[in-house]
Amino acid sequence: MAATPPESPEESSSGIRLRFARARLPAEPHARPTRIASLIGMCVGASGGTLYGAILSARIPPLSTWQGSSISVVVGLALGCVVGYILGPNLTVRPYFWAEETLETLPTSELLGVLGGVIVALAIAAMVALIAGGLPFGLGWVVAVLVAAVLVPLGLTVGHRRRKDFSMLGMGGGSTGPPLAKVVVDTSAVIDGRLLDLARGGFCLYQLLIPQFVLEELQSVADSGDPIRRARGRRGIAMLEELRALPGLDLQFPTVDYPSMPEVDARLVRLTREEDASLLTVDYNLDKVAQIAGVRVLNLNQLATAMRPTLVAGERVEVEVVKEGREPEQGVGYLEDGTMLVVEGGRDKLGETVPVVVRSVIQTASGRMIFAHVDCEEAEPEPPAPRRVKSSRPTGGGGR
């Protein structure tokens, strides 16, 4: 979907500077720490496996021979290397990076709710430890640990669900007044250009979130070798520059990223769900995927369809016949908003503006399609014979 970016992300090949872009993250920014943790885990596992093999050879008589000791040590060494290589990053760097990524994108109210749930769970576990401290063989501490193991996940879940209570207490942020609804903007919606028209007209009453990975994808499109894609990317960058210059528009550029998700569409859906926002796009496939994931979608194509003027059967309009239709005797014209109008009997009217009568309106997945026929009442008063021929074509009457 995106082409290879240039070496300098601050300057595109078109000469348009994207001042808010940053260096593209590598495909796997945690690769080096993961390899280091795997090597350290392999060394620790090799040492442990060798020691365990030596202990087994000393305690088990069949392995006390020189051959048995060698086999047990080699097997222990190999198993220790494999287990340490696998468990090393899974027990160290990967949980750390997961926690860092989660805490970075967690809203304040949700973070406070989770911390409150964990604190309450640990307090209950501490009270159980004090009460059961007199049990023999240290059973009191065992009971306290089990209670904590059960209540801490429960506290996390309850705190997450009751995060709105913290927001109502004013602990979720210091903003006053009702916040604007958040909308995450897709790359296709930026390139489309109609968002800029809505913002200029004052109809964009949202907080627009354009994440950093969308900016990177937009710049990669502007640097594409395909001239059509390059032109679309440049247009999107120009649209962003004009959006930033509009007064009163709340436009944010979150730096959050999800390196574990290579697809931009998956990142958009995840960010939209985490921000409790809507997704603005013109991409049909992304629209359907986001709706399946439970995300509210704002599609500019649907808005444009809803804003088109509605014609009803029997209404008279004038249209210029610009080309021939698929069926015999058909002509095709377009209304001012781009709606296609099929004119029965309009093939011999190419290049002319003729009055037509709407016969039916069909709504398709790609938009509206209007069928009409030439208005015989307002046709030019020609001799009777030619007029009867023209009027019989669109009606499909059984003159024969």
Q: 351-354 — which CB contacts under 8 Å span 24+ positions?
A: 351/320, 351/321, 351/322, 352/320, 352/321, 353/318, 353/319, 353/320, 353/321, 354/318, 354/319, 354/320, 354/321, 354/379
Residues 299 and 315 reside in one and the same domain: no
Q: CA 117, CA 18: separation in Å to the nearest integer?
A: 43
Domain boundary pick from 268, 284, 305 = 305
Bridge partner residues of 17 (DSSP): 11
CATH number of the domain where residue 276 is located: 3.40.50.1010
Domain span holding position 218: 182-305
Cα angle, residue 334 at apex, residues 328 and 335 outer, rounded to 5°: 140
Note whether residue 208 is domain-resident.
yes
Find the helix or strand (DSSP H, E) in which 299 lies: strand 297-299
Domain boundary pick from 94, 119, 139 = 94
Reported as half-sphere exposure (CB side, CA atoms, 13 A), residue 314 has a value of: 0
Residues 46 and 112 reside in one and the same domain: no
CA dist 232 → 189, 210, 305, 338 (Å): 11, 17, 23, 21
Residue 241 tokens read as: 């520059």
Bridge partner residues of 208 (DSSP): 183, 251
Reported as half-sphere exposure (CB side, CA atoms, 13 A), residue 122 has a value of: 7
Residue 89, C-beta contacts closer than 8 angstroms, at least 6 positions apart: 33, 34, 37, 38, 41
Residues of the chain with pLDDT under 70: 1-29, 102-110, 137-138, 159-179, 308-309, 337, 364-367, 377-400
In contact, 137 and 80? CB cutoff 8 Å = no
CB atoms within 10 A of CB 128: 19
Which has the closest alpha carbon to 361: 346, 339, 393? Answer: 339
Sign of CA pseudo-dihedral 255, 259, 265, 268: negative
Residues 192 and 301 reside in one and the same domain: yes
Note whether residue 143 is domain-resident.
yes
The 10s digit of each residue's pLDDT in 251-288 is 888 888 888 888 888 989 998 988 888 999 988 888 89
CATH number of the domain where residue 329 is located: 2.40.50.140
Note whether residue 2 is domain-resident.
no
pLDDT, residue 140, reads 74
Residues 146 and 41 reside in one and the same domain: no
Residues 334 and 384 reside in one and the same domain: yes
Instruction: Mark out the alpha helices in 24-107 (DSSP H runs).
Output: 31-59, 66-91, 93-105
Q: CA 320, CA 322: separation in Å to the nearest integer?
A: 6
Residues 297 and 229 reside in one and the same domain: yes
Residues 190 and 298 reside in one and the same domain: yes
Note whether residue 297 is domain-resident.
yes
Residues 69 and 132 reside in one and the same domain: no
Note whether residue 20 is domain-resident.
no
Domain boundary pick from 168, 193, 214 = 168
Residues 89 and 113 reside in one and the same domain: no
Residues 314 and 273 reside in one and the same domain: no
Residues 164 and 271 reside in one and the same domain: no
Note whether residue 99 is domain-resident.
no
Note whether residue 120 is domain-resident.
yes
pLDDT, residue 6, reads 43
CA dist 327 → 226, 330, 351, 393 (Å): 36, 6, 18, 12
Domain count, the chain: 4
Residue 75, C-beta contacts closer than 8 angstroms, at least 6 positions apart: 49, 53
Note whether residue 8 is domain-resident.
no
pLDDT, residue 169, reads 53
pLDDT, residue 40, reads 92
Residues 295 and 349 reside in one and the same domain: no
